[in-house]
Amino acid sequence: MITNVKRYEDVAVGEELPELRIPLTRTMIVATAIASRDYQDVHHDPSLAVERGSKDVFMNILTTNGLVDRYVTGWAGPAAVVKAIRIRLGAPNYPGDTMVLTGTVTAKHDDRRVEIAVRGVNEIGPHVTGTVVVRLPGQGIDS
Amino acid sequence: MSDSAYEDRLQAWVGRELVTRRPGQDPVNVPMIRHWVEAMEDDNPVYLDEDAARATGRDGVVAPASMLQAWTMRGYAASVSPDAERTGSDELTDLLAEGGYTSVVATDSEFEFHRELVPGDHVSVEETLEAISPEKKTALGPGRFISTVKTYRDASGEIVATQRWRMLRFRPAAKPEPAPKAPRPRPAINHDNEFWFAAAREHRLVIQRCADCKSLRHPPGPCCPQCGSFGWDTVESAGEGHVYTYVVNHHPRHPAFDYPLVVAVIELTEGTRLIANMTGVEPGDVEIGMPVVLDWIDPDPDLSLPVFRPAVAEES
């Protein structure tokens, strides 16, 4: 059983995605780093992170990709196929902060690809800015 | 080496393959997908629910697109092992460290996905260096941006995705000086004890001696408790003794001290006792009777104080 299948025809350029607030706990930052098999100490060891010039452990970029993916496909529905995720990182995601993701549909292409501009902001500033491209199902078409 | 020679060595890497095609440790599989979607709190059903995935027109579950890079990560053992097979990427990391760029942060990732991955797909990655920027000033410290392209292929060699990847390799900016520690409480210096603190500033531990009966005494005082004489001089201690007794102070805390704080009564071989801190020993390892030797601390320019550390037995 699937719900929330967004079709290409349902989407308009300029449409805004509902905001998603993601609490950034220390456990989540470590759990996601390990789930992405990233064992760089700056993502789990606070004292080594400080030694390397950071104020604390911080989220790894693979997780930012995962969260941006979750945000857009959560809106686009399970039938959406992700064709591109292009991100730039800014302010680090530190434990205790909250990242607020927002998005806007910026383009629609004939092959049912839809581009969404995504931005994730924490208390310091923009953590991530980027674009996600998904291909949506059309009317009467499954995928 | 001159700056330009270093620059040449760096730029020689442009266009080179940093990682030759290397397969991921495991094929795409459901347990790792579950680990990922749980950590990401991604409840899209197409990653774990076969029926839901088929209802979207797929043949079965697929891996999250963003998870691609995870399939080719080296894994924990290789991440921490100094014996892991070295790649060009490791050599470039060393060369950058030689230039002081010891820290790293990823700044850009641009994935283009050619197809979705399904359980059983065995993905490999190869990585080529595109560019190394000149040194730039960044909020993290001076650094260089390293741009690469990663190409992901399935077992048949077909490209499943490409990823433009950019990292900043930087010299951590100097940390601000820590706030100065609170000054150590001042001793109450008077005419009777100033000689003792003056000697301490010269790292000499002295003991007051009666000029008449020659008995030693501490703490300093105007009058010999043995014979009542007001005449005195000093002798210099050899700086050896043992722990007569001690306490370990946990509370209340004064900001000038590190805790737990050992406060010991040291009996010197000359026979007098004095109160001092201990160094070079864990509080739990201090024992009554422990042989100790003199050391000195200089908490600030006006104050030097004796401390005692465990005497090390002569190695035979």
Q: What is the DSSP letter of A43?
A: G
* A125 and chain B in contact, CB less than 8 A: no
Judged by CB atoms closer than 8 Å, whether chains meet at A70 and B44 is answered as yes
Judged by CB atoms closer than 8 Å, whether chains meet at A74 and B40 is answered as no
Interface test with A, best of B93, B109, B169 (most A CBs within 10 A): B109
Rounded to a whole number, what is the distance in Å from the CA of A32 to chain B's nearest CA? 5
For chain A, the straight-line distance linking the first and the last C-alpha, in angstroms and rounded, comes to: 16
Residue A1 pLDDT > 70, yes or no?
A: no
User: A113 - beta bridge partners?
Assistant: A135
Q: Write out chain B residues lying below 8 Å of A53, CB-based.
A: 103, 140-141, 170, 172-173, 175
CA angle, A28 as apex, A26 and A32 as ends, to 5°?
125
Domain assignment present for A122: yes
Rounded to a whole number, what is the distance in Å from the CA of B85 to chain A's nearest CA? 17
Judged by CB atoms closer than 8 Å, whether chains meet at B66 and A74 is answered as no
Domain assignment present for A126: yes
Judged by CB atoms closer than 8 Å, whether chains meet at A65 and B111 is answered as yes
Show the domain range for A117.
13-135
Ramachandran angles phi, psi of B11, nearest 5°: -65, -20
Residue A76 pLDDT > 70, yes or no?
A: yes
The two beta strands, B103-113 and A81-89, are antiparallel
> Which position has the token pair 């805790």?
B259
- Compare all CA atoms of chain B with the CA of A81 and give the residue at the minimum distance: B116
> Which position has the token pair 């979750």?
A70
Given this model, what pLDDT does residue A140 score?
A: 62
Give buried/exposed letters for B57-89 (b at 16+ CB in 10 A, else e). ebeebbbbbbbbbbbbbbeeeeeeeeeeeebbb
* B102 and chain A in contact, CB less than 8 A: yes
- Full 3-state SS string of chain B: CCHHHHHHHHHCCCCCEEEEEEECCCCCCHHHHHHHHHHHCCCCHHHCCHHHHHHCCCCCCCCCHHHHHHHCCCCHHHHHCCCCCCCHHHHHHHHHHHCCCCEEEEEEEEEEECCCCCCCCCCEEEEEEEEECCCECCCCCCEEEEEEEEEEECCCCCEEEEEEEEEEEECCCCCCCCCCCCCCCCCCCCCCCHHHHHHHHCCCCEEEEECCCCCEECCCCCCCCCCCCCCEEEEECCCEEEEEEEEEECCCCCCCCCCCEEEEEEEECCCCEEEEEECCCCHHHCCCCCEEEEEEEEEECCEEEEEEEECCCCCC
Give buried/exposed letters for A79-113 (b at 16+ CB in 10 A, else e). bbbbbbbbbbbbbbbbbebebebebebeebeeebb
* B106 and chain A in contact, CB less than 8 A: yes
Domain assignment present for A74: yes
- H or E stretch covering A88: strand A81-89
* B31 and chain A in contact, CB less than 8 A: no
Q: What is the DSSP letter of A37?
A: T
Q: What percent of chain A has pLDDT over 90?
A: 90
Instruction: For chain A, state the CA radius of gyration.
Output: 17
Residue A42 pLDDT > 90, yes or no?
A: yes
Among B138, B191, B194, smallest CA distance to B166 is for: B138
Quick check: helix, strand or coil at residue A57?
coil
Domain assignment present for A47: yes
Average pLDDT over residues A16-29: 98
For A83-97, write each residue's pLDDT tens digit. Answer: 999 999 999 999 999
Give A143's pLDDT tier (boundaries 50, 70, 90): very low
Out of A37, A62, A84, the one facing B112 most closely (by C-beta) is A84
- Please tell me the distance from the alpha carbon of residue B108 to that of residue A130, in angstroms, as a whole number: 9
Rounded to a whole number, what is the distance in Å from the CA of A109 to chain B's nearest CA? 16
Quick check: helix, strand or coil at residue A36?
coil
- Please tell me the distance from the alpha carbon of residue B265 to that of residue B268, in angstroms, as a whole number: 10
CATH code: domain of residue A83: 3.10.129.10
Q: How many domains does chain A have?
A: 1
Q: What is the mean pLDDT of each run of 10 residues along chain B (316 residues)?
A: 85 94 96 98 97 96 98 90 80 93 92 98 97 91 95 98 96 69 86 94 96 96 94 96 96 87 96 95 94 92 92 65
Out of A79, A82, A84, the one facing B57 most closely (by C-beta) is A79
CB-CB contact of B163 with B110 (8 Å): yes
What lies within 8 Å, CB to CB, of B157 at 6+ separation is none
CB-CB contact of B207 with B249 (8 Å): no
Chain A stretch 7-36, residues whose beta carbon is closer than 8 A to a beta carbon of chain B: 28, 31-32, 34-36
Rounded to a whole number, what is the distance in Å from the CA of A112 to chain B's nearest CA? 15
Give, to the nearest 10 degrees, the angle between helix A26-35 and helix A61-76: 90
> Residue B54 carries which side chain, given as an amino acid letter?
R
Q: Write out chain B residues lying below 8 Å of A63, CB-based.
A: 39-40
Given this model, what pLDDT does residue B253 score?
A: 86
Given this model, what pLDDT does residue B179 score?
A: 65
Given this model, what pLDDT does residue B274 score?
A: 97
* B80 and chain A in contact, CB less than 8 A: yes
* A39 and chain B in contact, CB less than 8 A: yes
Among A101, A39, A92, A100, smallest CA distance to A69 is for: A101
Give A104's pLDDT tier (boundaries 50, 70, 90): very high
Domain assignment present for A111: yes
Domain assignment present for A78: yes
Domain assignment present for A101: yes
Give, to the nearest 10 degrees, the angle between helix A26-35 and helix B30-40: 160
CB-CB contact of B227 with B215 (8 Å): yes
Quick check: helix, strand or coil at residue A4?
coil
Tell me: cis bond preceding B260? Omega within 30 of 0 counts: yes
Domain assignment present for A1: no
Rounded to a whole number, what is the distance in Å from the CA of B109 to chain A's nearest CA? 5
Q: Write out chain A residues lying below 8 Å of B56, CB-based.
A: 2, 5, 78-79, 137, 142-143
Given this model, what pLDDT does residue A20 score?
A: 98
Given this model, what pLDDT does residue B182 score?
A: 81
- Please tell me the distance from the alpha carbon of residue B74 to that of residue A37, in angstroms, as a whole number: 8
Q: Could you give the domains of chain B?
A: 3-28+63-170 (3.10.129.10), 194-310 (no CATH)
Average pLDDT over residues A109-135: 97
- H or E stretch covering A99: strand A98-108
Quick check: helix, strand or coil at residue A129?
strand
- H or E stretch covering A103: strand A98-108
